[in-house]
Amino acid sequence: MSTMNISLPESLKHFVDRQVTDRGYGTSSEYVRELIRHDQDRQLLRGLLLEGASSTPSTPVDDDYFAALRKRALGQ
């Protein structure tokens, strides 16, 4: 694992320290790693949404579509 040092103003350091304590993180590094993972997930989702929005529809989304989707999700 690599190490990265960051500088924060006191107000942000206090905020991070509070989050670590209040939310049960072991260290500030755990908190920052989780923030970075969430940001990666958000960027991935945004890319997928933009890709979907720019694609052409292939199957009509109607009641039958959602019924089949529910059936698949329930393993039927």
pTM score of the predicted model: 0.70
Q: What is the mean pLDDT of residues 25-47?
A: 98
The residue among 46, 43, 21, 44 whose CA lies nearest residue 31 is 21
Is the model more confident about 42 or about 61? 42
pLDDT value of residue 46: 98
Number of alpha carbons in the 13 Å side-chain half-sphere of residue 31? 16
Q: Identify the band that residue 37 occupies on the pLDDT scale cut at 50, 70 and 90.
A: very high
